[in-house]
Structure 1
Amino acid sequence: MKHHNLERLLESGVVAVVRKVDRDKVLSVIASLVKGGVTAIEVTMDSEDALSVISEAKEKYGDQAVIGAGTVLDGESAQLAIQAGAEFIFAPTLSEQTIKVANRYGKIVIPGVFTPTEILQAYEWGADLVKVFPASVLGPQFIKDLQGPLGHIPMMPTGGLTLDNVEGYMNAGAVAAGIGGSLLNKTYIKNAEWDKLTDLARQFVSKCKRT
């Protein structure tokens, strides 16, 4: 199951970071992203009612996208998210405890890393892939340079990725991209312009999808 979900997560190349969206709009946002072809939805743990949003999203859209939890800082939070139905655990930092909990329950775990040492450490601890964060500080060249010594470790840049720069990261060797603010357009969400959000999602998927 984990392998199948990992394939689904990587299918569109986009992991949408859904952070602090109004509770009354969050499921419409997720629906719009899924309609646009996004196959992985991350609900951050610092969002309102995050655990019930994960449960509801999985129930409604789990057959179309992998639903997971983000901003998971420790093993306890990982366990709560998994109990709520999260299929993957996305973290901004590297915590061995978080990785162990996810592995114990057979869930995908993607810890945040910033250096080659952290990338290798995360993988040795059992990470499925690593979240290079914040990617905009490092740039695509960082991903490219690591393909030689650490090319066996799948990398997902996150932080500061846009329609204009995301292709550079994918071409440098990234397996997917974590995309937040540039995908979750605040104006579209505020005005409930779901078709525009879906179209934006399609544009990101077209630049990130593995061919």
Structure 2
Amino acid sequence: MIQKIKTIQDIVESGVVAVIRAESEEEAINTASACIEGGMKAIEVTLTVPGAADVITSLKKRPEFQDLLIGAGSVLDSETARIAILAGATYIVSPCFDKETAKLCNRYQIPYMAGCMTITEMKTAMEYGVDIVKLFPGNNYSPSMINSVKGPMPQVNIMPTGGINIHNAKEWIENGAVAIGIGSDLAKPAKVGDFKEVTRLAKQYVDIVREARA
């Protein structure tokens, strides 16, 4: 199977992406490890993390993480995307759509999940090969937004990120989200060193997705 297609399928199957925002490499690695321990299979290391490329490389080198999906987030341009790919990122996530980033990711057969807010942005992103659209910021919309978009564009795959929490995650999945991105909920306990709480939350999100799909 083509690796790009497999990565997309694995992200959809996982159903939840842990968005890692941290103030240090150590905090990022510990947060990612805690999420993985909680059952999450997809990790997005945002490039706002100091030494983010090194964090990605470090995670990729660990034998116990070889089957995980480790991508880069907050990617704003093609130059940064290439750095992340060379560091080992297997998918790229942006808060916005960027044509040059889309072209680069297509060139190297790396999934590109671009942030979009409107149907016009989604259509443009799909025309440039974006297979999963990141609805961002998700807290600007209700979960019913997905059904509204899928009326005229049933082929679009949407992953809301930003403002997704324990209370609304199930509703987003039930309304057709192919996956959800979770960031702030996981970052809060991590910032005070409570990585056991990160693991507990990660497990809770994994269970919510599984139950919503069932």
TM-score range, shorter chain: over 0.9
- Do the aligned partners of residues 46 and 191 (structure 1) sit closer, same or farther apart at CA in structure 2, a change above 3 Å counting? closer
The alignment yields a C-alpha RMSD, in angstroms, of: 1.4
What TM-score does the superposition give when structure 2 sets the normalisation length? 0.92
- 2:175, 2:122 → 1: CA distance? 16
Partner of 1:120: 123
Residue 182 of structure 1: SS of its match in structure 2? helix
Contact preservation (8 Å) 1:10, 1:39: no
Q: 1:23 maps to what in 2?
A: 25
AA in 2 matched with 1:142: M
Match of 2:85 in 1: 82
Q: CA deviation at 1:169?
A: 1.0
Amino acid at match of 1:95: D
The answer to whether structure 1 residue 47 and structure 2 residue 55 are counterparts is: no
Q: Name the counterpart of 1:99.
A: 102
Q: In the TM superposition, what is the alpha-carbon distance from 1:191 to its structure 2 partner?
A: 4.4
AA matched with 1:127: V
Contact 1:134/1:157 (CA < 8 Å) preserved in 2?
A: yes
CA shift for structure 1 position 103: 1.0
Q: Following the alignment from structure 1 to structure 2, what is the Cα–Cα distance between the partners of residues 62 and 130?
A: 26
- Alignment of 1:167 with 2:199, yes or no, is no
Cα separation, 2, equivalents of 1:202 and 1:41 = 14
Please report how far the alpha carbon of residue 197 of structure 1 lies from its aligned counterpart in structure 2 after TM superposition: 1.5
| 3-state SS of paired residue (1:150) | coil
The answer for the alignment partner of 1:2 in structure 2 is: 4
SS at match of 1:11: helix
Deviant stretches of 4+, over 6 Å: none
Q: Is 2:211 the partner of 1:193? A: no
Looking at structure 1, the residues matched to 191 and 47 of structure 2 have their Cα atoms a distance apart, in angstroms, of 21
Measure, in 2, the Cα distance between the counterparts of 1:28 and 1:46: 16
CA distance in 2, matches of 1:12, 1:199: 17
Give % identity.
Answer: 38
- Structure 2: gaps of 5 or more residues: none
Stretch deviating more after TM superposition (148-157 or 90-99): 148-157
- Partners of 1:193 and 1:10 lie apart in 2 by 28
Question: Secondary structure, in 3 states, of the residue corresponding to 2:106?
Answer: helix
Partner of 2:145: 142
What do the CA deviations read for 1:19-73 (whole angstroms, capped 9, x no partner)?
Answer: 1342222212111101111111111111100100011112225423200000100
Residue 173 of structure 2 is aligned to residue 206 of structure 1? no
Cα distance in 2, alignment partners of residues 4 and 62 from structure 1: 17
